[in-house]
Amino acid sequence: MNQDYPPTLPDRRDWTVVIVEGCEECGYVPSNPHDSSARLAAAAAEWPEVLGSEGIRERPEPTVWSPLEYAVHARDMVRLLGARVGAMLADEDPVFEDWDGDVHAAEGRYWEADAAQIIEDIRLATRQTQSVLARVGRSDWERTGRRSDGRRFTVATLSQYLVHDVEHHLQDARLGLRVRVPLLGRPATTGPTDR
């Protein structure tokens, strides 16, 4: 099958600010790190419904990921950041290798993914990351690690970053389906309100 999609617009926004400021786009307010495991599980539980919908392979715009592509990316983030938390628990201030989601999407041919497989992948990745978070002791939340750009995270802020990431992408996927249902009990973000 030769079904190549154009790349998405590179995402150059600094998403680390959401840890402190929250995110207007998806309604995230800085979360309690101790809730991370439960929130990841709640997000994972929503993907089967999203990926069971019609049109999951269609991009809402040529340069915006399809719901399926967002799901594969979310799986990768749960895997990646869970592993990074594990590294922060095992090592002193580890440095993380560069990771470019757009490159992985292209190389991994996300658009060809099997939805049932991705649902299972997300379930498994979430369980693995939850098991890492379960090992975080009281004094471990402030353990650190650094991204290749020098940005330093703690176990607490990285887990918040991950929670926002998966919740935000779940919303991206729902918006791609034009399904405006509340996400995790919050009102769905809508466009400018009618007067």
State the residues that interact with Zn ion by CB under 5 A. Answer: 23, 25-26, 28, 168
What is the full DSSP assignment across 117-145?
A: HHHHHHHHHHHHHHHHHTT--TTTTT-EE
47-51 CB contacts, 8 Å cutoff, 24+ apart: 47/71, 47/74, 47/118, 47/119, 47/122, 47/170, 48/119, 50/170, 50/173, 50/174, 50/177, 50/179, 51/115, 51/116, 51/118, 51/119
Q: Which is nearer to Zn ion, 26 or 156 (CB)?
A: 26
Work out how close the CB of 179 gets to Zn ion at its nearest, in angstroms, rounded to a whole number: 17
Work out how close the CB of 133 gets to Zn ion at its nearest, in angstroms, rounded to a whole number: 20
Q: Which is nearer to Zn ion, 135 or 180 (CB)?
A: 180
Work out how close the CB of 109 gets to Zn ion at its nearest, in angstroms, rounded to a whole number: 26
Q: Which is nearer to Zn ion, 24 or 54 (CB)?
A: 24
Work out how close the CB of 172 gets to Zn ion at its nearest, in angstroms, rounded to a whole number: 9
Q: Which is nearer to Zn ion, 84 or 164 (CB)?
A: 164
